[in-house]
Amino acid sequence: MECLPYSKVGGMADVVGSLPAAQRELGWSASVVTPYYPRIYKGKVGKEIGSFDVYVGDTPHHVVLRRAGRYTVLVDQPTAFDRDGIYADPLTGVGHEDSLFQCLVLQQAVRTALREGLLKADIVHCHDNHTGLVPTYLRDDGGPKTVFTIHNLAYQGRYPAEDFGITGLDPARFFPHSEFEFHGTFSLMKAGLEVADLVTAVSPGYAGEVVREDEGEGLDGVLRARGDRFVGIINGIDTALWDPASDPLLHANFSLDDFDGKAACKRYLQTEGELDVEPDTPLLGIVTRITSQKGLDLLGPLLPWIARQGAQLVMLGTGDPHIVELYRGAEARWPTRIRLIEKYDEEAAHAIYAGSDMFCMPSRFEPCGLSQMYAMRYGSVPVVSARGGLRDTVQPFDDDNPDGTGVLSWWATTDSYHGALSHALELYRQPEKFARMRANGMSQDFSWKNSAGEYLRQYQRILDA
């Protein structure tokens, strides 16, 4: 449902936009099909490559497929996608009460385009619940093999059982314990997990967590049953886009070999955030959705302690109003120490990665996380929970592991994260150690090269099968 540069809410857009490009560099042909949101994407849209009707229930909806660049196909259906936002609010459900309709338009468009020969594929790679019926549709049609990737198992695409009737599938296929039924509801996520030829999670760590009963959101049994057809593959990042040496959004560019621009980016962030401009003050950054998943409520009680330590914190994001209020209160009390920028802005995000000394991710769970990779590349040391992809990508720095890249909090609690931040600030006051830890992070290779290669190996495995 989202893909850079055509739309974005979270990290899935980065993945869907950059993984196919990496696969093409390895010699495979890879394209993307994604909705066209005319109120969101203002760039050029290419020529029409085909049109047809799709049915949601008994109602036809006319779809036009348009090229955008050489490798992207946009699904143009105004009733479904001419919106101000992509999703309903995951906290309140408010926004798009017809989100199932949107998902079905996209999925039926892919099915019909393949049926009519407008698109051709050996593998169709589906992302999250919004594409959960594509494996079923294509299996029914004798079509291509399918891969289904879990970006966040908590968002399951659950709808009332009676909504199954608008999918175009035989209603008799919906019954207790079928691939579509989940505790009396109709679940797009479960359907994808059950039917796809291969299921992947966006990190090995997350794959290991969600097969446990306490972490599997009720679907752990389904995932365990997939056996070796369920694997974890860590996401990569677009290292050309996310490069502090050439990033056009930065106030000053820098690299590991020419680091002066990092200090200029810190001054700029302090100035723009109306914080005290103090070069030696540890500056913490956060770019996130403000939700309990991200652990911002665990960090909130530490804000007075952060201010008393003489540190500063800048957070960019929107979300849960109760958590937002916690940070607004701290900002009012310590206006030169705490700053909340309540919106999402790509330039501000880059400024925080580049200007901060440390990057906070106290997540309760984190399927992969891209922010810690961006932060390390931009010389901001990650202080993260040891969860999912965070544990896979951030190695703890200490005297026994001088090649570490960050600081880990081993438990999703305020006390544990307090300990991690205390250790990070202690390292900050030891310039040689902190510089080494930062250099270790900047030296990591988080490109898509390895991950894209692993996806291709998995694709070949199911094609051979």
CA 12 to CA 185: how far, in whole Å?
25
Count CB-CB contacts under 10 A for residue 27: 7
pLDDT value at residue 97: 74
N-terminal to C-terminal alpha carbon distance within the chain: 29
CA atoms within 13 A on the CB side of 126: 31
Q: d(Cα 90, Cα 151) in Å, to the nearest integer?
A: 14
pLDDT 10s digits, 190-227: 999 999 999 999 999 999 999 999 999 999 999 999 99
- Are the C-beta atoms of residues 313 and 339 closer than 8 Å to each other? yes
pLDDT digits (tens, 9 = 90+) for 33-71: 999 999 999 888 989 999 999 999 999 999 999 999 889
* Range in 14-18, 267-271, 283-287 with the lowest mean pLDDT: 14-18
Measured CA to CA, the distance from residue 104 to residue 106 in angstroms comes to 5
Query: What pLDDT shows up at residue 95?
Result: 59
> Has domain 11-236+448-464 been given CATH number 3.40.50.1700?
no
The rounded mean pLDDT for the chain is: 95
71: tokens are 């490798």
pLDDT band, very low/low/confident/very high, at 87 (cuts 50, 70, 90) = confident
- Annotated domain spans of the chain: 11-236+448-464, 260-442
Least confident of 85-94, 367-376, 446-455: 85-94
How does pLDDT run across 140-183, given as a tens digit for each residue?
A: 999 999 999 999 999 999 999 999 999 999 999 999 999 999 99
Q: Percentage of residues in the chain with pLDDT exceeding 90?
A: 92
Q: pLDDT tens for residues 105-137?
A: 999 999 999 999 999 999 999 999 999 999 999
Q: Report pLDDT digits (tens) over 298-353.
A: 999 999 999 999 999 999 999 999 999 999 999 999 999 999 999 989 999 999 99
User: Do the first three CATH levels of 11-236+448-464 and 260-442 match, i.e. the same topology?
Assistant: yes
Convert the pLDDT of each residue in 230-261 to its tens digit. Answer: 999 999 999 999 999 999 999 999 999 999 99
**91: confidence class by pLDDT, cuts 50, 70, 90:** very low
pTM of this prediction? Answer: 0.92
Average pLDDT over residues 419-434: 98
Contact 101, 80 (CB under 8 A): yes
SS3 state of residue 63: strand
Counting Cα atoms < 13 Å in the Cβ hemisphere of 56 gives 19
Q: Please tell me the least confidently modeled range out of 63-67, 92-96, 375-379.
A: 92-96
Phi-psi region of 50 (alpha: psi -120 to 50; beta: other; left: phi over 0): left
- Domain at 260-442, CATH homologous superfamily: Glycogen Phosphorylase B; (3.40.50.2000)
Percent of the chain with pLDDT over 70: 98
